[in-house]
């Protein structure tokens, strides 16, 4: 056997044994032993293999809240249990063949996780009427509204999220080395450390800055995030890379965008925007058409506008999300509107 081949086999054996030790500690609740310390100190190959396995296992820790990550962890620990079931002795006494057989399977699983983690986003969603708070691996937090979905893909360079439907609040952990961006309806919201709300419930995209600083740009724009961190923008709308319009928001400002219309920035009440987190909706002079679209997001009971005169009636009020009966009672009392049952079980709103 030549020297290079011998060194390769020693490295493979050390990696397998290091993985076996890691799985043993996971399954036993211990974090060290005299036998383990002696093994690490026995050769540089062992020490290097232990550091490599610890790094790979860190991926399991990062993805343990996802279904796929949890399944991979379960499979890895099952391999360790299968190996231990064949003997009553301590793991450190299992012969080399048993260790390597179990550990190679675990190394394969962790390798699959590495590929999966680089290519597949984690998806979090809610059903109608459900709200959910998701804690991410960097201590950022997502609060998902009813019937909403977000995909999360983290890498060493960036934290990239996509809000595919609904509404969510993002509380971003500060990390200047990895910008945090949320893509929705062709726009990207870029933050370093801040809190903001992204709303796609109606025809408009609404981005509200609750705290900190964000920049909104077209999804296709190449944004120099380092430059944005290092210098303040002097205007609300500027040009990046010569062509892509950027909009910077200050705390308490909301950007409203709709296809075919110019973006608009206005001061809003952060408390009103965030009311959905406690199950409430606040409207301030919005059209009945817009309000109905938003109310319908929280209930299976459909509301229809049967008279175009009703659509532009304006509403200011505080409602409980999902309380369709209470909403109808209020608008029929204070507005020239009557509610009639429709053939398909929906409620049709007519002018009176």
Phi/psi at 233 (5° precision): -80, 140
Per residue in 53-88, pLDDT tens? 776 666 555 555 455 555 555 655 565 455 444 433
Contact between residue 42 and residue 17 where contact means Cβ atoms under 8 Å apart: no
* Residue 37 host element (H or E): helix 34-42
Convert the pLDDT of each residue in 238-270 to its tens digit: 444 444 578 889 999 999 998 878 889 999 999
Mean pLDDT of 261-281: 93
CB atoms within 10 A of CB 24: 21
- Residue 344: its pLDDT value, please? 79
Beta strands in 73-140 (DSSP E): 122-125, 132-135
258 close to 205: Cβ distance less than 8 angstroms = yes
Does this model's pTM top 0.75?
A: no
* Domains, the chain, with CATH or none: 3-119 (no CATH), 122-267 (2.60.120.1440), 279-351 (3.55.50.30)
Mean pLDDT across 142-146? 97
Across residues 151-170, what is the average pLDDT?
91
Angle, CA of 260, 266 and 272, to the nearest 5°: 110
Residues of the chain above pLDDT 70, percent: 71
- Measuring CA to CA, which residue among 264, 316, 308, 328 is closest to residue 286? 316
In terms of pLDDT, which residue wins out, 177 or 268? Answer: 268
State how far the Cα of 333 lies from the Cα of 337, in Å rounded to an integer: 8
Helix (H) / strand (E) element for 244: namely: strand 244-249
Number of neighbours of residue 186 by Cβ within 10 angstroms: 11
How much is the mean pLDDT over the chain?
Answer: 79
Whether the pLDDT of residue 186 is over 80: the answer is yes
9-23, 89-103, 252-266, 337-351: least confidently modelled range: 89-103
In this prediction, residue 239 carries a pLDDT of: 42
């Amino acid at each position: 056997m030549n020297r290079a081949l011998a060194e390769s086999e020693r490295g493979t054996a050390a990696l397998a044994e290091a993985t076996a030790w890691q799985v043993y500690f996971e399954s036993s609740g211990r974090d060290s032993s005299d036998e383990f310390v002696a093994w690490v100190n026995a050769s540089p190959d062992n020490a290097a293999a232990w550091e490599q396995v610890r790094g790979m296992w860190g991926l399991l820790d990062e993805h343990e809240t996802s279904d796929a990550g949890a399944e991979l962890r379960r499979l890895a620990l099952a391999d360790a249990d299968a190996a231990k079931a064949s003997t009553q002795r301590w793991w450190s006494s299992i012969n080399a063949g048993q260790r390597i057989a179990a550990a190679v399977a675990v190394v394969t699983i962790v390798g699959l996780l590495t590929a999966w983690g680089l290519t597949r986003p984690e998806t979090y969603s809610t059903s109608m009427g459900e709200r959910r708070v998701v804690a991410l691996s960097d201590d950022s937090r997502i609060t998902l509204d009813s019937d909403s979905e977000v995909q999360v893909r983290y890498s060493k360079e960036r934290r990239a999220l996509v809000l595919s439907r609904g509404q969510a609040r993002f509380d971003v952990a500060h990390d200047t080395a990895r910008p945090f961006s949320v893509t929705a309806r062709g726009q990207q919201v870029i933050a370093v450390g801040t809190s903001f709300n992204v709303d796609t419930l109606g025809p408009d995209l609404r981005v509200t800055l609750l705290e900190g600083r964000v920049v909104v740009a077209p999804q296709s724009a190449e944004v120099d995030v380092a430059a944005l961190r290092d210098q303040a923008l002097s205007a609300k709308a500027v040009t990046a890379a010569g062509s892509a319009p950027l909009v910077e928001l200050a705390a308490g400002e909301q950007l409203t965008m709709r296809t075919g219309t110019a973006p608009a920035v206005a001061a809003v009440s952060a408390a009103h925007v965030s009311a959905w987190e406690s199950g409430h909706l606040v409207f301030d002079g919005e059209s009945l058409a817009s309000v109905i679209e938003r109310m319908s997001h929280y209930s299976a009971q459909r509301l229809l506008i049967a008279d175009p005169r009703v659509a532009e009636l304006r509403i200011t009020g505080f409602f409980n999300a999902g309380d369709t009966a209470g909403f109808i009672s209020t608008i029929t009392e204070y507005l020239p509107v009557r509610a009639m049952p429709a053939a398909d079980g929906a409620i049709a709103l007519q002018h009176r």
